[in-house]
């Protein structure tokens, strides 16, 4: 009997990257993006979908839920997960390089693309930042099924992947999906400015500025009505507790 072909590093990286960017509920063999990746790497769509599901067994969010059917991950899968779960920026860049070589387009194109070859240093640096930002945005928004975690707005063009620890404060957290929360533009701006935060129970805590006694109806509906309520939690990559504590201690204006 012919033995199954072992997954190589490039294939595992592409599968993990797609796992991060795709809503978990859409990981199935008939998904066009999975079918395309399978064709590019010479695998069956079912094998690619299964490999993506295997990565979920290492995701703390799925582990807490005790999701059944995630028992088939191998040593190679765990090694790849462990490598990139502490360096998501490298996953974004390596998967993009491999994808370019195979002619795989990004899951979603948010702005015009550029080739990575034969560029000036500053342009290459800018492109790398954009690739990392795109990975972070897609990983976070897809984990929340493209909804604002505060008000549940589901208009994708109005959603942002909000950094819990700000981009400029910790380079190692810039691409970490667990350092992100999906928010509409209004709540993203308020969160970034520290006008509200999220406590240990994932409940919304408003600043004194947002709890003024005299406010307009929009203010009440947009902020006051959410005080004490839990945010919408994602299917994967739950907000990191240490990052949330940083936000409460260093960003929240109280």
pLDDT tens track of the chain, all 254 residues? 445 789 999 999 999 999 999 999 999 999 999 999 999 999 999 999 999 999 988 988 877 665 544 566 788 999 999 999 999 999 999 999 999 998 887 655 344 444 444 455 666 677 888 999 999 999 999 999 999 999 999 999 999 999 999 999 998 999 999 999 999 999 999 999 999 999 999 999 999 999 987 889 999 999 999 999 999 999 999 999 999 999 999 999 98
- Give the pLDDT of residue 215: 87
CA 210 vs CA 180, 224, 244: distances in Å: 22, 7, 19
Q: Among positive and negative, which fits the CA dihedral 116, 119, 121, 124?
A: negative
Return the residue matching tokens 């063999």.
29
Angle formed at CA 152 by CA 149 and CA 156, multiple of 5 degrees: 95
Give whole-number Cα distances, 79 to 11, 75, 85, 93, 239, in Å.
Answer: 13, 6, 10, 18, 23
Q: Which helix (H) or strand (E) holds 134?
A: helix 121-143
Closest CA to 201 of 163, 164, 241, 161: 241
DSSP code string of 79-111: HHHHHHTT-HHHHHHHHHHHHHHHTPPPSS--S
Does the pTM of the predicted model rise above 0.85? yes
CB 214 within 8 A of CB 157: no
């Amino acid at each position: 009997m012919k033995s199954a072909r072992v997954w190589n590093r490039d294939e595992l990286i592409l599968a993990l990257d797609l796992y991060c960017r795709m809503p978990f509920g859409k990981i199935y063999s008939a998904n066009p993006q999975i079918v395309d990746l399978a064709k590019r790497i010479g695998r069956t769509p079912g094998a690619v979908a299964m490999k993506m599901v295997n990565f979920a067994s290492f995701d703390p969010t799925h582990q807490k839920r005790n999701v059944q059917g995630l028992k088939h991950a191998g040593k190679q899968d765990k090694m790849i997960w462990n490598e990139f779960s502490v360096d998501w920026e490298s996953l974004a860049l390596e998967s993009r390089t491999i994808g370019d070589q195979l002619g795989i387009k990004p899951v979603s194109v948010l702005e015009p693309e550029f080739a990575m070859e034969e560029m000036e240093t500053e342009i290459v640096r800018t492109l790398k930042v954009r690739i990392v930002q795109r990975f972070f945005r897609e990983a976070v928004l897809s984990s929340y099924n493209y909804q604002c975690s505060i008000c549940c707005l589901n208009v994708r063009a109005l959603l942002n992947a909000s950094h819990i620890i700000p981009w400029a404060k910790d380079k190692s957290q810039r691409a970490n999906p667990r350092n992100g929360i999906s928010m509409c533009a209004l709540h993203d701006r308020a969160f970034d400015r520290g006008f509200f935060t999220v406590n240990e129970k994932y409940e919304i805590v408003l600043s004194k500025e947002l709890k003024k006694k005299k406010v307009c109806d929009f203010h009440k509906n947009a902020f006051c009505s959410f005080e004490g309520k839990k945010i919408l939690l994602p299917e994967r990559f739950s907000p990191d507790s240490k990052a949330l504590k940083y936000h409460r201690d260093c960003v929240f204006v109280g």
